[in-house]
Amino acid sequence: MPETDSLIGTAFAGCRILAKIGQGGMGSVYTARQDATNKIVAVKILSAELARDERNIEFFLREARSAAKLEHPNIVHIYNFGKENGSYFIIMSYIEGKSLADIVAEKGPLNPDAATEIVLEVLDGLRHAHSKTIIHRDIKPANILLDTDGHPKIVDFGLARSISEEKQLTMAGEMVGTAYFMSPEQGLAGKVDHRADLYAVGATYFYLLTGKYPFEGKSSIEVIHKHIGIPFPNIILLKPDLPLWISRVLEQLTRKKPDDRYQSATQVIGEIKRLRTAENDGTAVSNERSIDLPKISEFFAAEAAATPAPPPPPEYRKPIATLVSDRLMPAQTSRPADAVNSTLPLGAPVAPRRETLKGKNLQLPALHNTIKATTYFAVTFAAMGCFLLAGSGGMSKPGLAESLLSPFASNPYSSGFFFTAGLALTIWALIMKPLKLTPIRLLLSFSTALTAYTAGAYAPAPETTDMVSKAFLCLKIASENIASPANLPSYSMCLFLAASKFVFRPHWGVKACSIAAYVLSLLFTWLYFKGGQTVSPDKLYLALAGIAALAGLAASLMQKQFTLLSSPALFFLVSNALVPIMFANQHINAITENLVSRDAIRVRDLSHQSYLKYRKDLLAQETSMPEFDIEGRPIEKTPVARPAEIAPTPREELSHIARLEYSATRAARIKNAIFNTAGLLFLTIFLLLMANIYFVEETLTYYAGNNSENVN
């Protein structure tokens, strides 16, 4: 082959070489003018070093043969290929543009609309290639060029093969492709079909939207092992502002087993168009499956689940003769019976007069309290709506503080107005209380406002969504995910708090419902941490949890008032806390065994590589010419040392890694349940209901005491 620079300006394969535009792993690429058509084309020439190996030549020419079968606007067109002056070449259409890898490196991640349009066109090109039984096997941003009109062109079919092709260029057990975008079956050197391209499209889609590889590693082997054994990252955790349907599509595109993915490029194109249209029309369905994959990243939700239960309500048994409604009024003066009846004739019966007074006290206060309760409910729900709207003025950020301050940074006037309105309504609701302010009331009011505001701030909506639409989207997501298993921790905590409030009531029906709520709370915790898997709980912790639950049941039946050490809430809290521990060990052991297996593969691969290097060095030493010193004496060469045995990673270290991986995954799942499925809204509504229950109880207590004093 001639020198590289000497090609410029010369005639080559019916073209005039103009300039060198790139140097790749297979050779050099030039621009040229084709003599027959006077068109600017690209000429790819295999390097002389690689041309010494027949296998490299076959790889190079197979790219030409594969692409030459394809005629599609999103696939680079091949005009000619062959051998000229001892050099192997491919003449293809010249794309005036950059690769997606270069564009992302220069400008950062693409916006969802631009990335989706590119992916749709790439899928359309692959649909055509797959219809011709051609599999690319190396789809990645560097192999997709974007022309001046913004349309992608798939290039580099060097690893492509025909499904019906009999001759295989890859040896048994050899992996082909790029590690960052390689499907699990390629990493395992297994049978590969068109669904491997779909996995690579998913990984490319992820890269275009985030600017990051799905998996990072210090070596290609480490990255490939992650593709094989670690769940694909949930993009919503990295980019919460993305439409939920993108997470859903990515989750199915990148499943580990080909049978679980989309089965054709046509199916993916149809799904993307359907979901995108549904979102634009406001009829998008819930993405609970995608953001629960599980792929699951759950520390913040664990903190929420650990929120202490509110203390039991105080007993309002003291005289309240000076209280009328929710304000301090002058005390009613009780007259003696003779003063009340002083205008009656001597000897007139007194009982009828008492019945009349009692009747008045039963009618007017009852009507007044009913109106007051209705007003209170309306005020508290309006306050919750104001805080939800105030939070919806911003977008979720990486940090908690940044997310909570985002509404005031993005929409200071609108968010400030609704926040002030919510605060004013909350104060009004507190003023309406018939009894004095208590810490539990303050806690419930503050918690309701905070959770409603946070639910609005973390609602997964696009950045362009207005405040009201985002608030309604939050309500919509909450209603769609009301039966989602991801919200079991929220329901468990709500049931636990409700049971702790009512368990000391003397009424046996109420006590039985409280016990049932405790048991149901424990069941929800069990179902969530078991995760639908066939995992056996640790027997020791199972026994301890059972003992704590039985003790809580006994305390619920016997206790009539709150005591710290023998409280049913304490026993059931301990039982709930033991559930994740009893399942954690089993999950961690399973992860550890998986890590041990993957580490064994790593040790085997490294040992094999080390052995091959040893054999190569030994063969080179044995076949090398003898060397002599200046006096003609033979020089003894140092024997090639046998490779040291590669020790596997200690199991204790792998167990520690498994524990961290399990904790991170569990934390991500709980966080996802609380923020991305509007789980905070469930907590808000529950806290609001608890506050209203306290109001009704206080109103009835006040009414009973005031009425009793008036009657007596």
Out of 22-26, 203-207, 247-251, which region has the weakest mean confidence (pLDDT)?
22-26
Q: Which tens digit of pLDDT belongs to each residue from 118-138?
A: 999 999 999 998 988 888 888
Helix, strand, coil percentages (3-state) for the chain, rounded to 5, are 60, 10, 35
How many C-beta neighbours within 10 Å does residue 208 have?
23
- pLDDT digits over 523-577, tens only? 888 888 776 666 677 788 888 888 988 988 888 888 776 676 778 888 888 888 8
What confidence tens digit (pLDDT) does each residue in 169-183 have?
Answer: 343 334 445 788 989
DSSP three-state, residue 559: coil
Conformation bin of residue 137: beta by default, left when phi > 0, alpha when psi is -120 to 50: left
Contacts of range 540-545, beta carbons closer than 8 Å, 24 or more positions apart: 541/578, 541/581, 541/582, 541/585, 542/582, 544/578, 545/574, 545/575, 545/578, 545/579, 545/582
Average pLDDT over residues 36-56: 85
Residue 50 has pLDDT above 80, yes or no: yes
687, pLDDT greater than 90:
no
> Is 35 designated active site?
no
Helix (H, G, I), strand (E, B) or coil at 241: coil
Please, which pLDDT band fits residue 674 given cuts at 50, 70 and 90?
A: low
Q: Classify domain 97-295 at the CATH superfamily level.
A: Transferase(Phosphotransferase) domain 1 (1.10.510.10)
pLDDT in tens, 468-489: 887 777 777 777 666 667 677 7
Q: Which of 148, 146, 31 lies closest to 99, judged by CA? A: 146
Q: What is the pTM of this model?
A: 0.42
Of 100, 53, 95, 61, residue with least CA distance to 81: 61
According to the per-residue pLDDT averaged within each range, which of 111-115, 148-152, 439-443, 597-601 is highest?
A: 111-115
The class level of CATH for 1-94 reads alpha beta
Q: In whole angstroms, what is the distance from residue 314 CA to residue 681 CA?
A: 27
The answer on pLDDT for 397 being more than 60 is: yes
How far is residue 442's CA from residue 422's CA, in Å, rounded to a whole number?
Answer: 15
pLDDT digits (tens, 9 = 90+) for 486-529: 677 777 888 888 888 788 877 888 888 888 888 898 888 888 87
Q: Where are the alpha helices (DSSP H) in 168-293?
A: 184-187, 195-210, 220-229, 235-238, 244-253, 265-281, 288-292
At 626 the pLDDT is: 76
- Summarize the confidence of residues 393-409 as an average pLDDT: 78
On the question of pLDDT at 116 being above 90, the answer is yes
Q: Where are the domains of the chain?
A: 1-94, 97-295, 353-468+686-712, 485-623+640-676
> Residue 34: which H helix or E strand, with range?
strand 27-34
Using alpha carbons, list the distances in angstroms from residue 374 to 154, 318, 367, 370, 449: 65, 26, 11, 6, 20
The two three-digit tokens of residue 637, written as one number = 């060469």
* Candidate list 5, 53, 124, 138, residue with the active-site label: 138
